[in-house]
Structure 1
Amino acid sequence: MPELISCLICGRKFTSPEPLGKMIPGLGYVCAMDFPGFAAGFQVGRTGSVEGERVMEDPAVAARDRNVEKLERLLAFDVTPREIAAFLDEYVVGQAAAKRATAVAVYNHHRARQVKGVEISKSNMLFIGPTGVGKTEVARTLARFLEVPFTIADATNFTPAGYVGDDVENMLMGLMMSADGDEQWAAHGMVFIDEIDKTRRMSADNPSITRDIGGECVQQAMLKILEGTEARLPFFGGRKHPQGKNITINTKDILFIGSGAFEGLPEIVAKLMRQGETGLGFRATARSRKDDSDYRILQEAPQHILQEALLEYGFIPEFVGRFPVIVPFQGLEREEFRQILTRVRHSVLAQQEALFALDGVDLVFTDDAIDAIISQAVEMKSGARALRSLVERAVAQARFELPQRGRGRVRCTINAESVKTGDFVVTPLATGQDEPLAEVHDAHAGG
């Protein structure tokens, strides 16, 4: 029987080296799965040079030093909720109530560490609202403002230990990457759990009918991580195994934000408000609303109604309790679509204008073009996400035709017809006269 070789990292045994694995001189074998993260170490082992050590060590040391500075600033947190909300206003249109609630929750989360002698519960948040209204952008902007590690995890990928899929702990691997592998810095980051509504029980009425692998079992598996625990992660991702190397992250200071569309939840809230004995005001509001699927009803509902609705929706009480701050988001109005296109910093139109400018093209959208884009976005019912695809489709033909070497600066005008057909008008800035693209092409072809 041939002698087995073992991987230095995970401990797995092989009869012979894998094609993509590496034998590190003087150290041993690293398997193909673990080698990518060991590449710098391989460089040192291969060359034995001071330069090799610098390649391996300097970036990590520099990153860790930067992280220490950021952590010190975060621990001395003195930003006000108004300042947080003002920063969000620069990047996210509308959702004033949601931004205020988020700003307060973030403020409480980071100030809680400065309180001595009193243990303050975490301010994990649950974002509820239709698709494309800014839930992810609020979280991403918060992380940028706070300068903390940030990752987005997809709850639909999670399964309990022992089943095919990702362990819930793997949501922290992205945080480690965002923190440059520094587990202490990662322990102060933010995790955005998207599609968390998909972890509802399959049968809310009878949870014990069958083992709900992707629903209640995943909720149960998340509880300790959301509350705060010493989570063990496999050194190079994937599933944990007994002989593998692990990283430990304490999750007590990580801010978790669950997010989802929660389709059908507004109807449950409307029903509970009609049934409730909290006063004629709530009942009248619920009765007068023609469409119970309107997400605005979530902002009118008291906290206990929202929590009761989440239980009926298919979440276990312990899971709902891990998200004490429930933040409803509303659908976008036409004027908010317009602001997203034209006024928000780094808007879709501003991005396209910058790209065209690199090729000597001044890109202009007429008012009727913007109106046409908004009308189509409203019909698509996918929120702000529709805007990017509609704008890119409107400029696609111009993006292909206009970049040309040796030509002077021109203006490209996108109008309502462009949104429908992709056609556009080019104006040579020297003459100031509108000239159809076909004539421009003919002129080049004939010259």
Structure 2
Amino acid sequence: MAKTETPRRIRGTQDIFGDEQRRFAHVLSTFERVRALYCFQRVDIPVFESTAVFARSLGETTDVVSKEMYTFEDRGGDSITLRPEFTAGIARAYLTEGWQQFAPMKLTTSGPVFRYERPQKGRFRQFHQIDAEVIGAAEPAADVELLVLADQLLRELGISEGVTLQLNTLGDAATRDAWREALVAHFEAHRGELSEDSLTRLEKNPMRILDSKDPRDRPIADSAPDIDAYLTDEARAFFEAVTAGLDAAGVTWERNARLVRGLDYYRHTAFEFVTDRLGAQGTVLAGGRYDGLIGSLGGPETAGVGWAAGVERLAMLVPELAAVNPDVIVAVEDDRAIGLGHRLLRSLRKDGLSAEMIATGSPRKRYDKAAKVNAKVLVSLNVDEDKPVTRAVAATATDELSQVQTIIDDLAEALR
């Protein structure tokens, strides 16, 4: 009989366990706690959407759509895509579920996303993101709210040191049109020196050339005209309101005039929180204002601003977290007391105490094994002359010891 081959984990995926999982869970729990402080509502959306949702929102010329999406045809002949990000799906839900009546909406979500990209440090083909959005608020205060939320999240995760908020403005529609025209003229003058990808972008998405990583493009991109010369008075005032709000909230930022979002529906604020602790790909959280997105999906013109962050990349910055020991460890030193142990565990857990039981292996060694767990309270269960003997001990007179003793006394009374 042929030996069955052991299945392998698919390249670019991950199994999360131990300290890695503790840091991962710490990111998610901290995110949930902080978003509640800012009165953001939790929303959950499908893992897959119609492919058109992403093709229309992200743009067919973007790397995500053209190279990275997991797209397939289902049995009904529909083209569906595993979500590569959250914003487009939330915008679709805003339209299809009639959420316009609730605007402005402050929303957060989290979960797995999928991109077919070359796996590298902190990047996987199935990874996880946290996401925050404000939809239906055109004022710069919404941008400030999101950025202050992000700043507090990083601080409460204990990873803000060495992380810098880089900020830019993309202006309003008039600003972008004038700047785009100047960029096209600049890049056309250097057409023969641009990379193949940038030549493709020049036709449909010239702003993307500014953040090209190709060495051939960098001198040309660095000498391109800045947006500041093309800002309208309204766009300048919007950016000044955002920066003033951040200053008032005590959020440190620096200007990065080369920070862009290439698609036409992006407006005004663009930002990234970056670090040098994760190698070349140093972005840990990024976002911007997308006032034209919902309109591009066929809905009414609706303001929007949001950000996303990779949970794995944030977790890599979190210091190692010690495993959490139980409040109570129960050592069953006589097998005749195992039933009592189960009753005690149930009572302890119903009373809000975490508890584990050691009832396997040599009964003579169970107490010593339990003592090594470093729980707040150790309970010994034994039998003497067919009667249960229960003893609870702790290094100090903790509240948990008193609580456990009360539960034991109540259980003993019930067994009489």
With a CA cutoff of 8 Å and minimum separation of 6, indicate the structure with the bigger relative contact order. Answer: 2
- The structure with the largest helix share of the pair is 1
- The structure with the largest strand share of the pair is 2
Report the TM range for the smaller structure's normalisation: under 0.3
Q: TM-score, normalised by structure 2?
A: 0.25
